[in-house]
Amino acid sequence: MYNMDEWKHVFKLDPAKDISDEVLDQICESGTDAIIVGGTDEVTLDGVLQLLSYIRRYSVPVILEISNLESVTPGFDYYFVPMVLNSQNKKWLVDKQHEAVVEYGDVINWEEMYAEGYCIMNPPESKVFQHTDCSLPTEDEAIAYARMAEHLFRLPFYYVEYSGKYGDPNLVEAISNQLSNTKLIYGGGISTKSQAEEMSQFADMIVVGNAIYENPKEALKTVKAVKK
């Protein structure tokens, strides 16, 4: 339906956070390649549906990044399914996903589903890191997960997640050198044009989240920085 190979920039909207219609309009019209709807906690069906129906007024592709079963609804272009590779608990790698397939396996449209191998590099005190019971990988370990994503699991996406903190471009570059079929997604702390430019040299797709809520004007500029 869409050619994801060409996507370079996406915005991530959190259904649990407040956003004005004005900013939402600007995000939808920004020229970004897609909008991901997703968050860590307090993601409800109500919140997801509200965002979906608003964004649907525009032609931008919209993806649900599944955070819990209760908030899944039809109507998105794609569904991204996180698998946390550096979680210490297999619940976040495969069990939650398995539960969903046990319940909905017969009605899932597999064409719309894409697995994301997450490597969560946030500081250990961060919410998402704790929530998914991660252990912080060294650089070599993060690279090894990328190699597994590419060669063993043949995942469509490997997601280097620094949410809330700008990551290490050298590591993102080293990871990108290991990937050819698996697309590299980078997300975390991008709030300026130059950060967007820097990370998109190495990542196939960059994700801008928090900046939309903290400084929407700067966040909007990240689109042009990447899509020249």
In angstroms, rounded to a whole number, what is the distance separating the alpha carbons of residues 203 and 187?
Answer: 9
The tokens for 198 are 């820097």
Distance CA 201, CA 87 (A): 28
Contact 24, 32 (CB under 8 A): no
# binding residues, ligand 1GP (CB under 6 A): 13
| Contact pick of 24, 207, 225, 226 for ligand 1GP (by CB under 6 A) | 207
Q: Does 126 bind ligand 1GP (CB under 6 A)?
A: no
Largest Cα separation within the chain, whole Å, is: 45
Q: β-strands 62-65, 78-84: how paired?
A: parallel
- Decide whether 105 or 215 has the Cβ nearer to ligand 1GP: 215
Q: 8 and 225 in contact (C-beta within 8 Å)?
A: no
| Binding flag, residue 61, ligand 1GP (CB under 6 A) | no
Q: What are phi and psi of 24, to 5 degrees?
A: -60, -40
Min dist CB 187 to ligand 1GP, Å, is 2
C-beta closer to ligand 1GP: residue 55 or 128: 128
* Alpha-carbon gap, residue 105 to 127, rounded angstroms: 30
Distance CA 103, CA 166 (A): 38
Nearer to ligand 1GP, 30 or 163 (CB): 163
Regarding 122 and contact with ligand 1GP (CB under 6 A), the answer is: no
Residue 188 binds ligand 1GP, judged by CB under 6 A:
yes
Site string for ligand 1GP, 164-183 (x = CB under 6 A): x-------------------
DSSP-derived letter for residue 3 is -
Q: Which stretch binds ligand 1GP (CB under 6 A): 78-86, 131-139, 159-167, 170-178?
A: 159-167
**161 touches ligand 1GP (CB under 6 A):** yes
Least distance CB 120 / ligand 1GP (angstroms): 9
The contact set with ligand 1GP (CB under 6 A) reads: 12, 161, 163-164, 187-190, 207-211
